[in-house]
Amino acid sequence: MKELVQARAEDLGFDACRVTDARRPEHAAAFRQWLAEGKHGGMAYLERTLERRLNPEIVLPGARSILLLAISYHRKERGDAIGPNPEARGVVARYARHRDYHVVLGPPLAALRRFVDDLGGAGTRSLEYIDTGPILERDLAQRAGVGFVGKHTNLISRELGNWFFLGAILTTLPLQPDEGAVNRCGTCTRCLTACPTQAITEPFRLDARRCISYLTIEHRGSIPLEFRSAIGDRIFGCDDCLAACPWNRFAREGRLMREAYLPELNQPSLVGLVEMDDAGFRARFRGTPFERAKRRGLVRNAAVALGNIGDRAVLGALERVGRDPDPLIVEHAQWAIERIESRHGTS
């Protein structure tokens, strides 16, 4: 039955399909300690769902197997690589240069879940998640052999590098587990030295409160002053630790995300972003990952980026956004104005 499931997953376009059992993740104790230390920042939902994340059988009573699916979002360069930045444009994490992956990957994942239910017959129950459920996909994927957890705390595949999403299907259907993955980082520490904010405090330990991806996407408040300069021109996420990994030489394009690429999200104009109103944000970013940050978060991020790389030509836009009714946006616009004036003078 596992071979039938894996063949169907390949037909649907998934780049890997592996199986593990429904035991607690081996990382459970470390995850609990990480939360206790507050390293998750403002992601309170991780605490609220802790016990479910540590026990898949709470999520799906009677669960026997968990399928882990890898979906590559790697894209071969086609003249859209990020290069010099003379026009004050923002850098976007690679995964976010596509339509919302939840929407793109939901239908094939649901189709595979239905296949599993039909294969198991009456009484079989399954649940599918694409970064939406209270499970520790990364740790389960390592146990299933999709890849190994690297020193940057992300999953690394020997066939896909770092550039892939994880989907999961919990099922009451018993399937033979696959062999787990072995860590192959060796002595490499490129990801640690690549991190602009030293968020990887030691191998395999991440402090999300220092991570640019967290600060520009999940964090809802003011970006701490100590990290604003290090953010540079990044406006949504950060790929530095992933891009540094030598396993990316094996990265390959996948079928499912290929047609979801949106070139206009590659290097958006920072001035255009700070001048957006709510209606403009909704029209431009509906159905994309940017919805997660909301308009106020994205304008906040763009203002910080302008403060880091902009010149006097962008001061007019920052002064206008500095009159925004949202105090969070005003604070970051004023900071950006002061940064630019300190570099280029006030007249």
Q: Clarify whether residues 214 and 85 are in a common domain.
A: no
pLDDT of residue 305: 98
- Do 18 and 71 have their domain in common? yes
Q: Are residues 224 and 306 in the same domain?
A: yes
What percent of the chain shows pLDDT beyond 90? 95
Q: Do 52 and 159 have their domain in common? A: yes
Nearest-10 Cα torsion for 35, 38, 42, 44:
30
What average pLDDT score do residues 90-111 get?
Answer: 97
pLDDT in tens, 282-319: 999 999 999 999 999 999 999 999 999 999 999 999 99
pLDDT higher than 70, residue 119: yes
Same domain membership, residue 155 and residue 276: no
pLDDT, tens only, 218-269: 999 999 999 999 999 999 999 999 999 999 999 999 999 999 999 999 999 9
10 and 113 part of one domain: yes
- Give dist(CA 280, CA 45) in Å, integer: 29
Residue that terminates a domain, selected from 120, 153, 171:
171
Catalytic residue among 11, 131, 277, 311: 131
Instruction: Report the Cα 317 to chain-centroid distance in Å.
Output: 30
Task: Judge if 277 and 312 occupy the same domain.
Answer: yes
Quick one: average pLDDT of 180-203?
Answer: 97
* More confident of the two residues 345 and 207: 207
Q: Is 131 a catalytic residue?
A: yes
Q: What is the largest CA-CA distance in the chain?
A: 76
Under DSSP, the state recorded for 98 is B
pLDDT confidence of 86, banded at 50, 70, 90?
Answer: low
pTM over 0.75: yes
Is the domain of 158 the same as that of 106? yes
Strands 234-236 and 91-92: parallel
Instruction: Say if residue 145 is in the same domain as residue 214.
Output: no
pLDDT on residue 84: 52
Q: What is the pLDDT of residue 79?
A: 47
Shared domain for 156 and 80, answered yes or no, is yes
Q: What is the mean pLDDT of the chain?
A: 95
Whole-number pLDDT of residue 345: 75
> Is residue 187 in a domain?
no
Report residue 344's pLDDT band, with 50, 70 and 90 as the boundaries.
Answer: confident
Q: Is 22 among the domain residues?
A: yes
The per-type count for the chain, helices as H runs and strands as E runs, is 16, 10
Is the pLDDT assigned to residue 6 strictly greater than 90? Answer: yes
| 176 has pLDDT over 90 | yes
One domain for residues 148 and 6: yes
The answer to the question of residue 40 being in a domain is: yes
State the amino acid at position 155 in one-letter form: L
What does the pLDDT average to over 189-202?
98
Give yes or no for residue 80 having a pLDDT over 90. Answer: no
In percent, the amount of the chain with pLDDT more than 70 equals: 97
Domain of residue 214, residue span? 197-237+269-344
Q: What integer is the mean pLDDT of 31-37?
A: 96
Residue 144 C-alpha from the chain's centroid: 21
Residue located via tokens 């005003």: 330
Does pLDDT of 272 surpass 80?
yes
| Alpha-carbon torsion angle 224, 229, 233, 234, nearest 10 | -40
pLDDT surpassing 70 at residue 143: yes
CA–CA distance, 165 with 88 (Å, rounded to integer): 30
Confidence (pLDDT) at 77: 67
Q: Are residues 275 and 149 in the same domain?
A: no
Average pLDDT over residues 155-175: 97
Residue 305 lies in a domain: yes
Instruction: Please state, in angstroms and rounded to a whole number, the distance separating the CA atoms of residues 127 and 249.
Output: 34
- Asked, for residue 246, whether it belongs to a domain, the answer is no
Name the domain count of the chain. Answer: 2
Inside any domain, residue 29: yes
Q: Where are the beta strands (DSSP E) in the chain?
A: 16-21, 65-72, 91-92, 126-129, 148-149, 155-156, 164-171, 200-202, 205-206, 234-236
What was the pLDDT predicted at 85? 52
